[in-house]
Amino acid sequence: MRIGEIAALVGVTPRAVRHYHQSGLLPEPPRRPNGYREYGVRDAVLLARIRRLTELGLGLDEVRDVLADDEGRGLVEVLEELAEDLARQEAVIRARREHLTALLTEARAGRLPAEGPVSPELAALLAGLGELPESPMAAKDREILALLDVVVPEEERARLMELMRGAAGSARELYALLDALADAAPDDPRVDGAARALAAVLPDGIAVELPPEGSGGLADSFFADLAPAQSAAVRRAIRLAGERGEGDR
């Protein structure tokens, strides 16, 4: 048989056969005088076994272990490992489907925020904010919350969203104070008032939640996106909340 014939017989592509040759899974057969490979029944049997193993989800290295018999892991060991991996994948898929079902229910009811899909914790936080007037600061805040919702580990995310929920009731007034600083200088007298109003609703010791200024990363990117006076107010508010927390110890 030529390569196209054995590939069609086993149900793979000629390209796959060549790949198995290059990977060392399928030995090169002898060639005819015209240079074409000449495959036999034993080649077809081996190729069929490779196909069955790859269809089970084994990687080529794992297939090589199985084919090597005593030189690598046995078939039972590889298949048991594969079964455990598939069980883990099934659990992940099941959890994702449950999350998707909940999101779909919220979306159909018109309760999914524009930033969705988001975690239940962030959805609850955004719902607490309610409908806000046009506010550039509110838009930036929601963007950063949506990002944190993805990048912060699950256990930390729930704690962070719970901390932020305390400020939800004053969000309208706070955003108005910060929006008013868009064109102000960092030493504008209104910076102190906005900082103190924000600090009043921030959790004690929240300063530990942010890395030091100038350390790079998400925090610096967030502050760089604010106007100078806004950045000064938010930084001062976090510092005041941190100092208040230290004083309560």
In tens, the pLDDT along 222-231 reads 788 889 999 9
Average pLDDT over residues 192-205: 83
How does DSSP assign 71-90, residue by residue? GS--HHHHHHHHHHHHHHHH
- Range of weakest confidence among 140-154, 159-173, 230-244: 159-173
From CA 17, how far away is CA 153, in angstroms rounded? 43
pLDDT at residue 166 in the model: 65
Question: Residue range 175-180: average pLDDT?
Answer: 92
To the nearest whole percent, how much of the chain has pLDDT over 90? 25
pLDDT of residue 5: 93
pLDDT mean over 209-231? 74
DSSP letters for 169-207: GGHHHHHHHHHTTTT--TT-HHHHHHHHHHHHHSPTTGG
Q: What is the DSSP letter of 37?
A: B
Span 14-40, mean pLDDT? 92
